[in-house]
Structure 1
Amino acid sequence: MADSQNAVEAVVIPAAPGRPEEYDAATRAALDHIDHQAVRTVADGRPERTRKGYAQDWASWTKFCAESGVPLLAVTPGTLVMFVEWLWTQPGWKKGTFTAPSTIDRRISGTVVSARADHGMRLEDGIARLARNRLKQLVKEMEEKGETRGRGQAPPLLVDHLVSISAACPDNLMGIRDRALVLMHFAVAGREHELASTRVRDYADAPGGIQADLRVSKVRPRVVPVPYGSRLSICPVRAWQAWKEAACLDDPDGYAWRRLHSRWHTVMEGGLQPESIGDVITRAGERAGIEIRFTGHSPRRGLATSSRLKGHDQIVIAKQGGWAPHSKVLAGYLEVVDQWEDNALLGVL
């Protein structure tokens, strides 16, 4: 046989892939750039309200650094503890008050996220653990002294309140809008920004009521089934249909919840801002003569409370409002109800 037939073919062994520690400076720089761009892309995809919140948190960190002499990018466990102690002494939302613990906790999160996303810092996991432990100590000391901070939890807006609010809404465009907004806000256990972002097409007719598509959410988008109510005065489906007809909301891409002209009270093209959604809720309660001051979070908490009073499971309530199935916040709302329904003293005294 020919030599070529007898020859053993050479086996080509591919070179071993280079290890990350062997990368040259140019490769490492290119990979760092890719990582930073990926972080920025995800950060830019956050809701506008979330981005504004993080910007405020970083501005607070910047002020702290300027006053304390800490380098701006020196985000470490120790400097975050210093940040907490500095925030603890800062004035709160109202004259004569100090920063609420919940605000401080958010400032910590926003600072860490901004350092990673906006400044390309590689921070260790759990970097804020020590700062949060310090915050817990300060809160405990505050409670032992009988002090309070912040506005506290939003009061729940319950079904009886809805009845009063609906009855007090005037028979004009503002009253029709406010009634529909309050009832839908309650029905979907919505967040202010979720309602503000909805368009007409997001409330689709269904055999049993409406499918509310809350496509813009800081947590996760969800489609919420809203059935017809048993009472006409507080039925969110009928209230929405009345508003849609009265406001001539014919453009499916137009905002669902519109502003009204301050003088002529005509429907405008622009939608309500998240803060304005909360203002509508507050004014609706005041109009009805309810002494409780409701906020934009009150309908959300009210749905959770009212649903629990009717015996619904936490998983079902969480799905309606877009909470995590085992949300600690939701569990806290439900505990207020459960403490009376599942009490160790029932049947004892």
Structure 2
Amino acid sequence: MTNRDLSVSSSSTPPAAAVPARPEQFDEQTRAALDHIDRQAVRVVADGRPERTRTGYAQDWASWTTFCAESGVPLLAVTPGTLTAYVEWLWTQPGWKTGSLMAPSTIDRRISGTVVSAREEHGVKPEKGVARLARNRLAQLVKEMEKSGEKRGRGQAAPLLVDHLVTISAACPENLRGIRDRALVLMHFAVAGREHELAANRVRDYADAPGGIQADLRVSKVRPRVVPVPYGSRPSICPVRAWTAWKEAAELTDPDGPAWRRLHSRWHTLMGGGLSAEGIGDVITRAGARAGIDVRFTGHSPRRGLATSSRLKGHDQIVIAKQGGWAPHSKVLASYLEVVDQWEDNALLGVL
């Protein structure tokens, strides 16, 4: 091998890297291909959302469609001005379930659902902060409402507390419906569940553990979680014992079958399907009425009740949040706990 063999010629120097084309320089074919990729990505994410979320967005878009038809606004004209006009229109509309004027929280969700649907379902590209003006107008309307003393919506759900559980459990008849209702109310409270989380549960989602049950809330619009449910100190309101009694009485042997089965309205016999999210809430409401409790409970009452009851026993917000799947510093959870804290941590304690 000679020195000539070891030498590197000047012609072997790597060429300078090509300058990449900027987005504004893309040709029509490239733009079309990228738009297709974007639409596919949006569709994959949208299809992966929980059914409850997809249904909510569909209802929001249907509401926007009605507004556009009545006001003459083009359907895809999602702009700061049209969204603000939409808020004004919604403010005069009755709520879906209550029949009273629409709650501000519902209007806020309608705005979000409209913007998301326009972007993801119809390819509209709203400007950044497109809903800011509409939300500012909503805030003004809320202030006017509070000043006048007007009430809208149903307000926060009443908390279902431990004393209520005792009364409800005692009032449940010793038939299949009573056994199911007792188990459902107690488990709903224990896991601080949302209605749709329990409606999605299968028998296998309640697994026996040395200290009780591991409840797998695998379907959630927020965050799936596995919740440890220990044996209760009082057998009459123990969620573990109540679940076992329901499972045995209903002969729930199929691990993939619904955990909370529908019952015939007259004969109280098992039916093929499971309870819907709305059906879960109806069981909670009827259980409270059956027990003669003067408070009207909803499907959210056990969830709020667990947070309230746990705080009364001195548990930290982080611990409560983990049980119920709230964000660690959830403002909603904090508002529930504030009801307790205002008496336990009051500036007047020891003063007067």
TM-score where L is the length of structure 1:
0.96
Alignment of 1:220-239 (within 5 A): 220-239=223-242
Instruction: Report the counterpart of residue 301 of structure 2 in structure 1.
Output: 298
Deviations 1:173-223 (A, max 9, x none): 000000000000000000000000000010011111111000000001000
Contact 1:254 1:269 in 2 (8 A): no
* Alpha-carbon distance change, 230 to 50 in structure 1, aligned in 2, over 3 angstroms: same
Looking at structure 2, the residues matched to 228 and 152 of structure 1 have their Cα atoms a distance apart, in angstroms, of 33
AA partner of residue 249 (structure 1): L
- State the distance in 1 between where 2:187 and 2:59 align: 30
In structure 1, what is the equivalent of residue 129 of structure 2? 126
The Cα shift of 1:284 comes to 0.2
What residue in structure 1 maps to residue 217 of structure 2?
A: 214
Indicate conservation of the 8 Å contact 1:47/1:217, yes or no: yes
Whether contact under 8 Å (1:211, 1:226) holds in the other structure is yes
Match of 1:196 in 2: 199
What SS class does the counterpart of residue 213 from structure 1 fall into?
A: strand
* Structure 2 SS opposite 1:147: coil
SS at match of 2:299: coil
Which of 89, 113, 118 in structure 1 is aligned with 2:116? 113
Structure-2 residue corresponding to 1:80: 83
Q: Separation in 2 of the partners of 1:325 and 1:2?
A: 70
Cα distance, 1:94 vs structure 2:
6.5
Moved more, 199-208 or 126-135: 126-135
Which residue of the partner structure matches residue 20 of structure 1?
23
Alignment of 1:125-274 (within 5 A): 125-274=128-277
What 5-or-longer segments of structure 1 have no aligned partner?
A: none
SS of the residue aligned with 2:213? strand
Q: What's the CA shift string for 1:8-44, capped at 9, x where partnerless?
A: 4433424222222211111111111111111111111
Aligned twin of 1:11: 13
Seen in structure 2, the aligned counterparts of structure 1 residues 96 and 117 have a Cα distance that, compared at 3 Å, is closer
**What letter matches 2:12 in structure 1?**
A
Conservation of the 8 A alpha-carbon contact between 2:98 and 2:153 = no
Matched, 1:321 2:311: no
Question: CA, structure 1 residues 94+18, in 2 after alignment: closer, same or farther (shift >3 Å)?
Answer: closer
Would the aligned equivalents of 2:98 and 2:154 in 1 still touch at CA under 8 Å? no
Residue matched to 1:283: 286
Q: Kindly report the root-mean-square deviation, in angstroms, between the aligned alpha carbons of the 2 structures.
A: 1.6
Q: d(CA) in 1 for partners of 2:97 and 2:59?
A: 18
For 2:132, give the aligned amino acid: R
Name the SS of the counterpart of 1:270 in structure 2: strand
Is 1:99 the counterpart of 2:102 in the alignment? yes
Moved more, 217-226 or 25-34: 25-34
Q: CA deviation at 1:265?
A: 1.9
2:55 is the counterpart of 1:52: yes
Q: What amino acid does structure 1 have at the position aligned with 2:13?
A: V
Q: Deviations over 1:272-309 (max 9, x none)?
A: 00000000000000000001000000000000000011
TM-superposed CA distance for 1:109, in Å, is 1.0
Distance in 1 separating the partners of 2:6 and 2:146? 90
Is the contact between residue 259 and residue 269 of structure 1 (CA under 8 Å) also seen in structure 2?
yes
Between stretches 172-181 and 42-51, larger displacement belongs to 42-51
The structural deviation recorded for 1:266 is 1.7
The 1:125/1:220 distance shift into structure 2, 3 A limit, reads farther
TM-score normalized by the length of structure 2: 0.95
1:29 equivalent to 2:23? Answer no
Distance 1:183 1:96, change over 3 A: closer
> Secondary structure of the equivalent of 1:73?
coil
Matched with 1:65 is 68
Among 325, 334, 340, the residue aligned to 1:337:
340
Shift of 1:263: 3.6
**1:85 & 1:325 partners in 2: Cα distance?**
35
Question: What is the CA–CA distance in structure 2 between the aligned matches of 1:223 and 1:281, rounded to whole Å?
Answer: 22
